[in-house]
Amino acid sequence: MAVHRIAVIGGDGIGPEVIDQAIRAAEVAARKHDGADLQWAKLPWSTAYYKQHGRMLPEDGWDQLKAYEAILFGAVGDPSVPDKITVHELLLPMRRKYDQYVNLRPAYLFAGVPCPLAGKKPGEIDMLVYRENTEGEYAPVGGNLYPGTENQIAVQTGVFTWKGCERILRAAFEAARKRPRKKLTSITKSNAQVYGLGLWDDVFHAVRKDYTDVDSGSLLVDAAAMDFVRKPESFDVVVASNLFGDILTDLSAAVTGSIGLASSANINPTKKFPSMFEPVHGSAPDIAGKGIANPLAAVLSAALMLDHLGLAQSAAAVRAAVAHVLATGAVRTPDLGGSATTTQMGDAVVAALA
């Protein structure tokens, strides 16, 4: 039996609660559909760990993680500790240290989930957003002149490299090629940000020559935002810079229902370093410990992990089980208008898998 070793960082708040359900579903699916054994190493890195040790992870934590094929991540963040520590010591460095340059965020309208847009049929909204995850507008490059005075000047620089643009564009084109619609939209704003996004566009035009089987085009980010609401069904694979991808995926999550359903992957496609899979939502301190968080975003993130591990049948089975539970509608957490607990929702997914 093939064995896959996975590090689990449940983190804070609802993180560990939803991750427990994701583990159950992934384990059952992997064994049944791909004959694979998943081995989990639970790491206690969290705000509680920070309060005890003065750091979010041990000194050799980054080396420890390299021993795993993947990292399943809940959420970090607690009202008693600034984000500057929780997020900036654990979550953000991971993307750069492990060169997880693809941030994949699917948006899918499931049957049984109320859509804020009128007249949309289940499955009609079905897109994969590929967000650049290591450079662009989020590069920590800049500075301040005359801080704290009325003359303060802040400079924030976007960093775009040919290599950085090319690898995210190629990853997105490869994904588009494997999908039935074979369509790709590159998001840009090169009419205003002429250097950085000008380079993005140049690379897009160079790369698309290798993918003439894909129906590709580009769209300005403001027009794209409008179309995400007006006609989200027109998108298949979308590829965007760090900032634009971040904003557009909140929009795509909103038009497909609940934050409790939005999954994501931070992928190092070379597999030189582990990739990390996490629900889009945070630690939700307002509902933590109550056992009512929707675990499906975490479960669907685990499905992305199964895809990355090469367990495609298991991944498909998990998604089908989630779709079945949502369509049946008997078991729903409060965010979906029901009164089921996190564990009951996990039970329903496991039952659907069996």
Q: Applying CB under 6 A, which residues contact ligand ATP? A: 14, 18, 75, 77, 259-260, 281-284, 286-287, 293-294, 297, 335
- What does the alpha-carbon distance between residue 89 and residue 95 come to, in Å, rounded to a whole number? 11
Residue in the shown chain whose Cβ atom is closest to ligand ATP: 282
* Partner touching 232 among Mg ion, ligand ATP, none, CB below 5 to 8 Å by kind: none
Q: How many CB atoms lie within 10 A of CB 234?
A: 14
Q: Which of 83, 213, 215, 250 is catalytic?
A: 250
* Partner touching 261 among ligand ATP, Mg ion, none, CB below 5 to 8 Å by kind: none
Assigned token pair, 181: 């619609």
If the CB atoms of residues 47 and 100 are measured against ligand ATP, the closer one turns out to be 47
The DSSP result for 316-349, as a single string, is HHHHHHHHHHHHH-SS--GGGT----HHHHHHHH
Assigned token pair, 14: 């609802």
126 counts as catalytic: no
- What does the alpha-carbon distance between residue 278 and residue 288 come to, in Å, rounded to a whole number? 17
* Partner touching 346 among ligand ATP, Mg ion, none, CB below 5 to 8 Å by kind: none
Q: Which of 37, 195, 222, 231 is catalytic?
A: 222
Helices 342-353 and 312-328, axial angle in degrees (round to 10): 120
* Partner touching 117 among ligand ATP, Mg ion, none, CB below 5 to 8 Å by kind: none
Smallest distance, Mg ion to C-beta of residue 132, A: 23
If the CB atoms of residues 6 and 297 are measured against ligand ATP, the closer one turns out to be 297
If the CB atoms of residues 85 and 259 are measured against ligand ATP, the closer one turns out to be 259
If the CB atoms of residues 188 and 264 are measured against ligand ATP, the closer one turns out to be 264
List beta partners, residue 39: 5
| Interface contacts to Mg ion, rule CB under 5 A | 282
Q: Which of 78, 138, 201, 335 is catalytic?
A: 138
Question: Is-contact 261 106, C-beta < 8 A?
Answer: no
Smallest distance, ligand ATP to C-beta of residue 321, A: 17
246 counts as catalytic: yes
Torsion of CA 248, 250, 256, 262, to 10 degrees: 120
Q: Which of 12, 236, 246, 335 is catalytic?
A: 246
Q: Which of 12, 49, 98, 189 is catalytic?
A: 189
Smallest distance, Mg ion to C-beta of residue 12, A: 11
Smallest distance, ligand ATP to C-beta of residue 11, A: 9
In angstroms, how far is CA 64 from the centroid of its own chain? 23
Smallest distance, ligand ATP to C-beta of residue 315, A: 20
Assigned token pair, 283: 């630690």
Smallest distance, ligand ATP to C-beta of residue 297, A: 5
98 counts as catalytic: no
If the CB atoms of residues 189 and 319 are measured against ligand ATP, the closer one turns out to be 319
Can you list the alpha helix ranges (DSSP code H) found in the chain? 15-34, 47-53, 61-65, 83-86, 92-97, 162-177, 196-207, 221-230, 242-255, 296-308, 312-328, 342-353
If the CB atoms of residues 63 and 286 are measured against ligand ATP, the closer one turns out to be 286
Q: Among 325, 298, 335, which residue's Cα sits nearest to residue 24?
A: 298
Question: Is-contact 80 285, C-beta < 8 A?
Answer: no
In angstroms, how far is CA 117 from the centroid of its own chain? 23
- Catalytic residue numbers read 138, 189, 222, 246, 250
